[in-house]
Chains A and B, each alone.
Chain A
Amino acid sequence: METTTSGRNPRARSTRFARIDWEKVLLGVAAPVLAVLFAGLVTAIVLLISGKNPVLAISDIFSYDVKPDSTVYILNRGTIYYMAGLAVAIGFRMNLFNIGVEGQYRMGAFFAAYVGGTLHLPGALRIIVIIVVAVLVGATWAGIVGVLKVTRGVNEVISSIMLNFIATSGIIAFLLQPGRLAANNPGSNDVTTAVLPTSAHFFTFSSYGGPIWGFIVIAALMGVAFHLVLSRTRFGFDLRTTGQSDGAAQASGVNVKKMIVTAMLISGGMAGLIGVPELLHESFSYGLTFPQGWGFIGISVALLGRNNPVGIALASLLWASLDRAGGQLTFDGFDTEIVGIIQGTIVVSVVVAYEVVRRYGLKRQQQKVGRELAAQSGTASPQQKEAAA
């Protein structure tokens, strides 16, 4: 938007950049900061009502999260949340709500774990196969949603919710049983797919606080690719245009249907990857205890990070550090569940804050355009005034 009417005069251009950017940045940062502060306030009130000391809780969160092992935990968790957030955000940028990330990543992780555990391949090749299978399965599962939307006009939210259930309580629950694609894990009650050999473990960085997952590199690369594709390529431009107005996109020659299916495939492919770091770094198999709920965390961090790769990174680190703090809070007599309240309140208040800020920004812009128009024509006609307001 800033570059549309850039003048030939470089000085004018730079001042315009400076002015508009500052206001936009300020407004953009204000919303999540306000939401987090508001969530802190709500939590403090909740703690006060239940007879606990909110100041102690907050100091706990801050002091505990900077310990080295906490930092490593936060980085590793943040890696997963970041990938989940990106998968959701690519849909949002296209005005598609991929609520099915939950089902997509679990399908991807399950089949990748099965294939990876069954095939006998040398280490690196096995890792590549696992990643490819996870991406393909996630993309296929999301592709169903895209195809149903463009061919039969089925709303993507409803179909993804249905597919989430079919995936988790149908397909995976059916196949994850002894005698099917899994076996009883000796020494525990868990039923898992075949355990991956150590040669298929992904590389890590060692640090004071423990190993940092190598997948953090892949997540960072995904973030960079996300930014470059969306802001520097024709495809990204088309995708954002379709998200803002599919009519306008159609008029400028974009095949909207193809775009919807492609966006769902990409989102699903990224979703398929979410479970892979856990698989290659932590659990090494898919079992009954494989973590769930990351799809919804992805929605939360994408909303908080405003579908922006940097924003999502900050949001996922915040989420992970809140998770980490939850463990510590129990030692000081707080209930771990308070973390859920903080996170839930952040999500609800951030969506409200963004909407309020967006409308405020729009109003400011309209007023400014109105003033400029009035200044240009000296005495603006009543119609112009009305249009500007």
Chain B
Amino acid sequence: MSAPTNVNKAVSRAKSASGKLTTPRLLLLISGLLLALFAVRAGTGANDLTSAGQIGGMLGLAVPIGLAGLGGLWAERSGVVNIGLEGMMILGTFFGAWGSWHWGPWAGVVLGMAGGALGGLLHAVVTVTFGVDHVVSGVAINILAPAVTGYLAKLTFYPVVGSKQSPPLKPLPTINIPGISPWLTGIEKHHWFAISDLAGILGALVTGLSILVVLAAVLFVGTYYLLWRTPFGLRLRSCGENPTASESLGVNVYRYKYIAVIVSGALAGLGGVYLVMVSSNIYQDGQTGGRGYIGLAALIFGNWRVGGLAMGAGLFGYTDSLQLRGSDAVHALLLAVAVLLLGIAIRMLLRKSYVGALFSLVAAAMFALWFAMTKDVPAQIVSTTPYVITLVVLAFASQRLRPPKADGIPFRKGQGK
């Protein structure tokens, strides 16, 4: 009896060791991916793949997705599923624009976050106090929020502008490091392998960087520190894993869930502010375009962890911004995907997983063929990339994903078993 169990244990241990993403491995993986991208750029001449403009665009599109996802992280780590991120983001866009219009950009940031937090508070009242199904409440908020902002926009902006758009808003400050930007642009122009690529990436980081991007980065690091390195974070996460146990240890579960969901709303609201004040300079109805949902997808892609979420948001932002930069860049990306799949096939072959290797190889060949046979990729197909990736990740890696254990389960005080 005991021998097979031991073998099983050993096997599972070996599996978990080989499958675990340690920091050196992760760095190796990322640099490998970057090198592949650089090689494709040099090979195809699609210089937009790593241009400062593309990377800047990626940051611009990744930040709102990332902020929404970060909001989702807070809520779901405390055990409350937040489909309402989209609605909270919409509240953020209106209140951000309204505050900015009246009292300047910083008031916009504060009011936008407050607006989102208000949506979070409503979600908390409905799910935590009344114990309603989290998804139902989230969807209800997504129905209510655009109705409220639509009414308010009509009331406030319509008499001034004549439509439900806000007047042009004053921008937030941006950061430029003098001297370095032109120098990096010079290097980028030479199109040297790897060096110019890195110059492009760095160039995006030092040229016209919005202060909100910096704030978002601080919030990501801060969230990691708060949730994983402090007693407060441990208690908050324990509410998402096993609220009954936390309750028995004297944690006020309701209070932690309230805090988490309100913070969640505020972060989604900040994502909305970003859309209004950095991505554009006006408020419009329907400006979020489902980014709250993509944030949720990035959260799942990132396995409910800060680092993974950042990678997911970056990836979705990258595909989104490629779409804006003309089709030959996207076309080159097909080759990059083929190279990536080839790498996966080789890795599977080395691990003696022949069926998987065959599948990856066939997929790689298909992408390479697609690259060779066509000249461009329709923008509509590119725009679906985040959703397809999320579905594929969910379908093939869901065993590795580990959401918080009590995520989405209504919790009643004093009735735990």
Give chain B residues whose Cβ lies under 8 Å from the Cβ of A335: 151, 154-155
Give a binary string over A133-156; 1 marks a CB under 8 Å from any B CB, 0 the rest: 000000000000000100011110
Give chain B residues whose Cβ lies under 8 Å from the Cβ of A158: 296-297, 300, 390, 394
Cross-interface CB contact of A355 among B132, B144, B383, B396, cutoff 8 Å: B132
> Is A345 positioned at the interface, with any CB of B under 8 Å from its CB?
yes
Q: Assess whether A344 is in contact with B391, with CB atoms less than 8 Å apart.
A: no
**Which residues of A (146-203) have their CB < 8 Å from a CB of B?**
148, 152-155, 157-159, 161-163, 165-166, 169-171, 173-174
Report how far A50 CA is from B132 CA in the complex, Å: 31
Give a binary string over A347-371; 1 marks a CB under 8 Å from any B CB, 0 the rest: 1100110011001000000000000
Q: Assess whether B290 is in contact with A174, with CB atoms less than 8 Å apart.
A: no
Using A170-B384, A337-B150, A337-B151 as known contacts, say yes or no to A347 and B395 having CB atoms under 8 A apart.
no
Cross-interface CB contact of B126 among A166, A337, A351, cutoff 8 Å: A351
Report how far A99 CA is from B243 CA in the complex, Å: 28
Report how far A179 CA is from B15 CA in the complex, Å: 51
Minimal Cβ-Cβ distance residue in B for A176: B380
Q: Assess whether A344 is in contact with B139, with CB atoms less than 8 Å apart.
A: no
Give chain A residues whose Cβ lies under 8 Å from the Cβ of B126: 348, 351-352
Q: Assess whether B387 is in contact with A166, with CB atoms less than 8 Å apart.
A: yes
**Which residues of B (287-304) have their CB < 8 Å from a CB of A?**
290, 293, 296-297, 300
> Is A340 positioned at the interface, with any CB of B under 8 Å from its CB?
yes
Q: Assess whether A337 is in contact with B147, with CB atoms less than 8 Å apart.
A: yes
Cross-interface CB contact of A348 among B144, B378, B390, B398, cutoff 8 Å: B144
Report how far A241 CA is from B299 CA in the complex, Å: 33
Q: Assess whether A97 is in contact with B150, with CB atoms less than 8 Å apart.
A: no
Give a binary string over A323-339; 1 marks a CB under 8 Å from any B CB, 0 the rest: 00000000000010110
Report how far A166 CA is from B293 CA in the complex, Å: 13
Report how far A66 CA is from B391 CA in the complex, Å: 47
Report how far A271 CA is from B126 CA in the complex, Å: 28
Cross-interface CB contact of B383 among A155, A170, A345, A348, cutoff 8 Å: A170
Report how far A249 CA is from B15 CA in the complex, Å: 35
Cross-interface CB contact of B147 among A97, A166, A343, A355, cutoff 8 Å: A343
Give chain B residues whose Cβ lies under 8 Å from the Cβ of A338: 151
Q: Assess whether B384 is in contact with A154, with CB atoms less than 8 Å apart.
A: no
Most chain B beta carbons < 10 A, residue from A165, A338, A341: A165
Q: Assess whether B151 is in contact with A341, with CB atoms less than 8 Å apart.
A: yes
Cross-interface CB contact of B394 among A97, A159, A299, cutoff 8 Å: A159
Q: Assess whether B143 is in contact with A296, with CB atoms less than 8 Å apart.
A: yes
> Is B146 positioned at the interface, with any CB of A under 8 Å from its CB?
yes
Minimal Cβ-Cβ distance residue in A for B384: A170
Q: Assess whether A166 is in contact with B388, with CB atoms less than 8 Å apart.
A: yes
> Is A303 positioned at the interface, with any CB of B under 8 Å from its CB?
yes
Report how far A351 CA is from B125 CA in the complex, Å: 12
Q: Nearest Cβ distance between residue B25 and chain A, in whole angstroms?
A: 25
Q: Assess whether A165 is in contact with B395, with CB atoms less than 8 Å apart.
A: no
> Is A308 positioned at the interface, with any CB of B under 8 Å from its CB?
no
Give chain A residues whose Cβ lies under 8 Å from the Cβ of B130: 352, 355-356
Minimal Cβ-Cβ distance residue in B for A174: B380
> Is B88 positioned at the interface, with any CB of A under 8 Å from its CB?
no
> Is A300 positioned at the interface, with any CB of B under 8 Å from its CB?
yes
Using A152-B395, A154-B398 as known contacts, say yes or no to A343 and B143 having CB atoms under 8 A apart.
yes
Q: Assess whether B384 is in contact with A169, with CB atoms less than 8 Å apart.
A: yes
Q: Nearest Cβ distance between residue B408 and chain A, in whole angstroms?
A: 9
Cross-interface CB contact of B140 among A153, A155, A337, A348, cutoff 8 Å: A348
Minimal Cβ-Cβ distance residue in A for B412: A359
> Is B238 positioned at the interface, with any CB of A under 8 Å from its CB?
no
Give chain B residues whose Cβ lies under 8 Å from the Cβ of A347: 140, 143-144
Give a binary string over B132-150; 1 marks a CB under 8 Å from any A CB, 0 the rest: 1101110111111111101
Q: Nearest Cβ distance between residue B393 and chain A, in whole angstroms?
A: 10
Minimal Cβ-Cβ distance residue in A for B388: A166
Q: Assess whether A340 is in contact with B150, with CB atoms less than 8 Å apart.
A: yes
Q: Assess whether A153 is in contact with B143, with CB atoms less than 8 Å apart.
A: no
Give chain B residues whose Cβ lies under 8 Å from the Cβ of A97: 135-136
Report how far A205 CA is from B133 CA in the complex, Å: 41
Q: Nearest Cβ distance between residue B291 and chain A, in whole angstroms?
A: 11
> Is B43 positioned at the interface, with any CB of A under 8 Å from its CB?
no
Minimal Cβ-Cβ distance residue in B for A162: B387
**Which residues of B (268-300) have their CB < 8 Å from a CB of A?**
290, 293, 296-297, 300
Give chain B residues whose Cβ lies under 8 Å from the Cβ of A173: 380, 383
Q: Nearest Cβ distance between residue A301 and chain B, in whole angstroms?
A: 11
Using A165-B290, A337-B151, A344-B148 as known contacts, say yes or no to A296 and B139 having CB atoms under 8 A apart.
yes
Minimal Cβ-Cβ distance residue in A for B133: A351
Give chain A residues whose Cβ lies under 8 Å from the Cβ of B345: none
Report how far A336 CA is from B155 CA in the complex, Å: 11
Q: Assess whether A162 is in contact with B143, with CB atoms less than 8 Å apart.
A: no
Report how far A19 CA is from B102 CA in the complex, Å: 60
Give chain B residues whose Cβ lies under 8 Å from the Cβ of A345: 144
Report how far A161 CA is from B386 CA in the complex, Å: 12
Minimal Cβ-Cβ distance residue in A for B385: A170
Report how far A50 CA is from B155 CA in the complex, Å: 8
Report how far A169 CA is from B150 CA in the complex, Å: 23
Q: Assess whether B384 is in contact with A166, with CB atoms less than 8 Å apart.
A: yes
Q: Nearest Cβ distance between residue B140 and chain A, in whole angstroms?
A: 4
**Which residues of B (145-202) have their CB < 8 Å from a CB of A?**
145-148, 150-151, 154-155
Give chain A residues whose Cβ lies under 8 Å from the Cβ of B326: none
> Is B107 positioned at the interface, with any CB of A under 8 Å from its CB?
no
Q: Nearest Cβ distance between residue B355 and chain A, in whole angstroms?
A: 16
> Is B356 positioned at the interface, with any CB of A under 8 Å from its CB?
no
Give chain A residues whose Cβ lies under 8 Å from the Cβ of B390: 158, 162
Report how far A166 CA is from B383 CA in the complex, Å: 8
Report how far A46 CA is from B155 CA in the complex, Å: 11
Give chain A residues whose Cβ lies under 8 Å from the Cβ of B132: 351-352, 355
Q: Assess whether A337 is in contact with B143, with CB atoms less than 8 Å apart.
A: no
Give chain A residues whose Cβ lies under 8 Å from the Cβ of B131: 355, 359
Report how far A27 CA is from B126 CA in the complex, Å: 20
Q: Nearest Cβ distance between residue A152 and chain B, in whole angstroms?
A: 5
Q: Assess whether A169 is in contact with B380, with CB atoms less than 8 Å apart.
A: yes
Closest 9 CB pairs of A and B: A340-B147, A344-B144, A170-B384, A174-B380, A337-B151, A162-B387, A344-B147, A173-B380, A347-B140
User: Given contacts A337-B150, A345-B144, could you give 11 more A-B pairs where the C-beta distance is less than 8 Å?
Assistant: A148-B395, A154-B398, A158-B300, A162-B390, A169-B380, A173-B383, A296-B143, A340-B148, A341-B151, A344-B143, A344-B144
What are 22 A-B interface contacts by the 8 Å CB criterion? A50-B155, A97-B136, A159-B391, A159-B394, A161-B293, A161-B296, A170-B380, A171-B384, A173-B383, A174-B380, A300-B143, A303-B136, A340-B147, A341-B147, A343-B143, A343-B147, A351-B132, A351-B133, A351-B136, A351-B140, A355-B131, A359-B131
